[in-house]
Amino acid sequence: MTRVALDTIAKDEFFVKIFKVDNVDEIADSDELYDAFESGWPVVIKGVKVPGVDYKYYDELEDWVIEGNRWIMPWYNSHIKQRTRLQEERGWTDAEIDTFHRNHKLSTIGWEGLFKTLFPRYTTTAEMLSHRYNMLVENKLHLDELDDEHTGAEQQIRMFLQLDQKRPRVLTFGPDLEQMYHKYYDELELGNIDRSNTKHFITEMRNRCVWNDQGWDQFHHPLHYITFDPGDIWFFNAQWITHQIIFGAKLQCYEADIVRDSLKNPELCLQDRINALQVSI
């Protein structure tokens, strides 16, 4: 059972949509699913398996603990094909890498099919699968930054799959960009941040409202906790909502860049939402 613990003060300022289904066709291509994703709030899908993913294989991978609990870049297709990171970071043999590569290809095919089943109206310009198997324990509250290949004019989706079959994954969620913009507009002089540069705006909002000298990345903001069960699929807008990993290991992430005009609600595209931010004077 996916468990949600809402902050007692800000419980009305956070929303989670949980779909519990017996068959993917129950939610595929539904307005309710599109609206839930485009809202940016966390969405959890229970009862759906990704075709081609060998859940037992991934669950039985040896735990991977990084010294200092530091973040490490996920493994993307290029890393798996080049093999070097898998050899150096896990010490795997050629045979072990061959097995992982084979499972990666099957997982990618399965994710591509599931995404098209769930969201057939979307036009995408890029899709990829990454693997995040290192264990993380309580990292800092943060917003995901845009990389140099994204401007916010497209809408990213990151669909996560909990592959650890023995332990849940626990995340906290804090305020979103709009909530912080309204609350700290005067105190932190947020009106002087250039909103025309989406990447810069997100980074600057994070630095002023979360990663500041006052230590607001730890227990300043209202925090809501979600415990994801083994096999859960979930997604949320990681550039819009502050979030923090409390515990997690063995995760897959399927990413896609969605063309703005194919969204059901184009005004909820990241760049549009930032440009629409207003504060009553």
Q: Give the pTM.
A: 0.95
What count of other Cβ atoms lies within 10 Å of the Cβ of residue 102? Answer: 12
pLDDT tens per residue, range 27-49: 999 999 999 999 999 999 999 99
pLDDT of 240 strictly over 80: yes
Question: CA 76, CA 78: separation in Å to the nearest integer?
Answer: 6
Give the CB-side neighbour count of residue 195, counting CA atoms within 13 A: 15
Give residue 128's pLDDT band: very low, low, confident or very high (50, 70, 90): very high
What is the reported pLDDT for 280? 64
d(CA 84, CA 147): 23
For the purposes of burial, counting CB atoms within 10 Å of the CB of 262, is it exposed (0-12), middle (13-18) or buried (19 or more)?
Answer: middle
Q: Measured between alpha carbons, how far is residue 9 from residues 17, 194, 223, 225 in Å?
A: 20, 31, 10, 14
Whether residue 11 is predicted with pLDDT greater than 70 in this model: the reply is yes
- Stronger pLDDT, 271 or 218, i.e. the higher one: 271
Q: What percent of the chain has pLDDT over 90?
A: 91
Q: Are 159 and 271 in contact (CB under 8 A)?
A: no
Q: Residue 173 is which amino acid? A: F
Mean pLDDT across 215-232:
96
Instruction: Return the SS3 of 181.
Output: helix
Buried b / exposed e over 223-256, threshold 16 CB at 10 Å, is bbebbbebbbbbbbbbbbbbbbbbebbbbbbbbb
**Mean pLDDT across the stretch 129-140?**
92
R_g of the chain, CA atoms, integer Å: 19
**163 CB-near residues (< 8 Å, 6+ apart):** 53, 55, 58, 59, 230, 250, 251, 252
CA distance 226 to 200: 29
Q: What is the pLDDT of residues 45-101, one digit of tens each?
A: 999 999 999 999 999 999 999 988 888 999 999 999 999 999 999 999 999 999 999
